Each structure stands twice: as structure tokens, then as C-alpha cells.
Amino acid sequence: MTNYLILGSGAAGISASQAIRKLDVQAEITLVSEERDGYYSRPGLAYLLSGEVSEGLLYPFSKADFQRLRFNLIHMQAKQILPEQHQVVFSDGRRLGYDRLLIATGARAVKPDLPGMALQGVVTLDSLEETRLILRLAHRGRLAIVAGGGITALELVEGLRARGVAVAYLLRGERYWPNVLDETESRIVEARLRHEGVRIYPHTELVEIQGKNGKVVGARTADGRQLRCELVGIAIGVAPRKELAEAAGLRVDKGILVDDRMQTSQADIYAAGDAAQVFDPSLGRAIIDSLWGPACLQGRTAGKNMAGGGDAYLKGAAFNVTRLAGLTTTIIGGVGDGSKDPNVIGIVRGDSEGWRQRPEGLVAQTSSEVNRLRLLLGERKVIGAVVMGDQTHSRTVHHLISRGVDIGAIREKMLQVGGALDMVLAEAANRLDEQGGRQHGA
């Protein structure tokens, strides 16, 4: 009987365990989690904070599911991996042996090295425990500062607003999330936040968090501003938890380096999810994904290979459906750097604007009802897209991007200024459906 040990019971660890159980019914599968809460939806934390879901809805598995799958779930922290002995040492001194080990330890929120970070009231939206703490602190009428530029920062801002907290949102740069959104998209998000009463401070960096009796009372910014607050939310990125692998002598870079079978540089040790750094053939380098979908897929691939299944991880186009200032937004493929490539053309449709073609994909937004689609077109393929509001075309565009569909035949039609791109996309969708139908029927 093969003994599988999984460090971390998040999306990657659970997906790997399910894949192992499918291939090896006899397997002894032990999942270790340092979090008492075990397996829950991390993306769901934002909705718990905003009050849209209750805690109970965050758990995808019941006790009965764990029993049915015969996973041993242990609440413990792994302290050291001993590859030679095929053992892991835990915080209580216990050792567990393994035949195959998976490191699925995820990532943790980066905390800046600032005076006052240890004060009560400095929070990150990182775990269920941390979210409960934010909920205990987020009373109506309180003042909060949120610093950071991506999705999690916005989730903190919106969650705190939903709890009646007054929020000052500090942006390091000139606008919101400039490495992914174009200027119009950033401005749309900012306008909606202001409408919700959020005060936005561009070009503003925290340099000190100030406290009294161990609790946050204010913060100082690089430009000398003094802001009063009782809460400081930090969301400046996540860092893969690679320290166990590094100490055990495994190859690491930003994360734990794995091959396309999710195997690390050490035989019998695999890594998956936010902790792993996987080769991306489209970019020609190893990257970190930090998304739920890829964590599940990587976990499944690792599990299959650990159980002798043999399966290569094929990284798909990046795909993230999220909500930015209440606006459903789908981000597909490469949208950040495309506009710097002279061969890439951006086309945008804003409500009541028709289609506009601009090199940087910019269009003025005139309607208060925001429906916006930005496509980045390469010479033969759609490279990336941002779909805001109306999601009618997101599935088609996702298919065009993820399947690398040759758009040579429709590209000219797509580029016609004021042309009926809606119809071109609908046509593309029909073709894709027909192809799919033929494949299923074959």
C-alpha cells in the first residue's frame, strides 16, 4: 500500500488527493493542514467579508465527503522535510513517513517591513481566521486605510465599506491596477469606488502605522500626510510558501520549481498550487499562477503522477472572473503587456460607442451603465481580453484565446472601425459550437 503525504489541504492538496484516490483505491492518503479550518474556499473570503455569504457556505466538502474519500485529515504544522529518510517532522515533534510527498502549502500575503505592522488592527485578507478577525474589528463608523493595487485590495475596500467602515484607499501609482487594466478601466473602477464613498489617494505610500496601547490609531504617508484610522488593510501581493522545500535542498526560485509532471528536483516529492512555479510554454519561462483554477489543475496533475498515472500539466490561458467595484469582470490571457507590442492591436467596445480601434485600446466611457469589452489582437490570434459588465461574449472570447483559434479569416472584419464585432464574435461562437458538437458527436 502506497503512503501519500500531502502538506496543505487547500485547492491543490485536495485536488491531488482526489486524483490519487481515483487511481489508487488502497492508498493511504494523509492531508496535513496547519489551519484548523481545513479545506475552504479562499476566494469566498471576500464574500464573507462583504456579508454576501455565511461561513458555512465556504466549505466545499462535508465530513462525510472526507470519510467517503478516506482522507486522513490532520491539523498540524510541517516543520521540516527529510528527503533522505522520506519523512516530515511536525511542530509537535512527531514524524510521518511517506512514499510520495506533495508540497501544497500555498502562498501567504506579503507584509511590508513598516513600523507598526504588529499593532492590533493591521490586517490582510488571507485566511478564514484572518477574515473573522477583520469582521470583529470592522464596526460601523470606524476608519480604515487600505493599501495595495490588485483584486484583494479592492475586496478589502469593498468588504469594509459594506460593513459601514469609512475607507481611505492608497494607491502607490497614478491609477488602479495599471499592469492589467487600461486607463479607462481603472477610471471606471475608481469612479464606482468614489460613488460608494471611498476616498482614493493616488501616488501615496504608507511609511508608518501608528499605535496607542498596542492598537492602530493612525498612519503616516511618504508625502507627509497624517491619516487617522483604527484599521489598516494590506494587500500588496502574495509570496509562495517555499521555505520547507528550500530548507530541504529542493530547487526553488520565486516558488518551488517543478517539471510538467509537477515533480520537484527531488524524486518522490511533488509541488502544486500557489507554492509551485511551473513552466509556461507560451512565455518560455516558469511562472507563479496564484489562482484557484490552476491550483486545482496542478493538484490533479501532481496526484495523477504521484499515483503513477503519467500526465503533463498544460497551462491554459489565464482566466479570472472577478468583481471590481461591483462590476463583473473577466480577464483572459495576456492583457498587461500586449499594448507595448507594436504587433498587437487593441480594440474596445464601450457602451453606446460602437467599436473603436486604438493602438492602446482606449475608448471614452459615456454611459453610466458599464459594458465594456477590450480585445488584444495579435496577427493571427486573440491574445487577451478584459470583459467588464455584460458577459455575453466572455465564453467565446475565452475559447478563441484558450484554443489559440486562428482568426486570420475574421481579423479584418474585427478591425473595421464601427464594424459589427458583436456579429463577428457571434459567428465565431457558432463555429466553435459546431466544431464542439461535431467533436462530441464523432
* Residue 283 one-letter amino acid: L
The mark string for 311-350 relative to ligand FAD (x by CB under 6 A, - otherwise) is ---------x-x----------------------------
How many residues touch ligand FAD (CB under 6 A)? Answer: 35
Return the HEC string of 207-238.
EEEEEECCEEEEEEECCCCEEECCEEEECCCE
Residues 40-79 that bind ligand FAD (CB under 6 A): 42-43, 45-46, 77-78
Minimum Å gap between C-beta 34 and ligand FAD is: 4
Minimum Å gap between C-beta 152 and ligand FAD is: 5
E strands, 104-245, where?
A: 107-109, 122-123, 143-147, 166-170, 199-201, 206-212, 215-221, 226-228, 231-234, 238-240
**Cα–chain-centroid distance for residue 95?**
33
Residues 375-404 that bind ligand FAD (CB under 6 A): none
Sign for the pseudo-dihedral over CA of 295, 296, 301, 305: positive
Minimum Å gap between C-beta 301 and ligand FAD is: 13
Q: How far is residue 402's CA from residue 159's CA, in Å, rounded to a whole number?
A: 32
155 binds ligand FAD (CB under 6 A): yes
293 binds ligand FAD (CB under 6 A): yes
- Among positions 105, 184, 186, 329, the unique one binding ligand FAD when judged by CB under 6 A: 105
Residues 113-142 that bind ligand FAD (CB under 6 A): 125-126
Place of cell 454611459: 367
From residue 421, give the alpha-carbon distance in Å to each of 254, 375, 397. 40, 11, 12
Q: How far is residue 69's CA from residue 9's CA, in Å, rounded to a whole number?
A: 14
> What's the half-sphere exposure (Cβ side, CA atoms, 13 Å) at 19?
24
Candidate segments 28-36, 169-177, 346-354, 358-366, binder of ligand FAD by CB under 6 A: 28-36
273 binds ligand FAD (CB under 6 A): yes
Q: How far is residue 260's CA from residue 277's CA, in Å, rounded to a whole number?
A: 10
From residue 268, give the alpha-carbon distance in Å to each of 19, 51, 88, 103, 117. 16, 43, 13, 11, 39
C-alpha cell at 408: 486570420
The mark string for 231-260 relative to ligand FAD (x by CB under 6 A, - otherwise) is ----------x--x----------------
Minimum Å gap between C-beta 318 and ligand FAD is: 10
Between 6 and 377, whose beta carbon lies closer to ligand FAD? 6
Minimum Å gap between C-beta 253 and ligand FAD is: 17
- Among positions 274, 278, 304, 421, the unique one binding ligand FAD when judged by CB under 6 A: 274
Candidate segments 23-31, 196-204, 287-295, 390-398, binder of ligand FAD by CB under 6 A: 287-295
Transcribe 35-58 into DSSP letters. Answer: STT-S--STTHHHHHHTSS-GGGG
Between 210 and 320, whose beta carbon lies closer to ligand FAD? 320
Place of cell 482522507: 71
Minimum Å gap between C-beta 219 and ligand FAD is: 22
Interface positions with ligand FAD (CB under 6 A)? 7-8, 10-13, 32-35, 42-43, 45-46, 77-78, 104-106, 125-126, 152, 155, 241, 244, 273-275, 290-293, 295, 320, 322
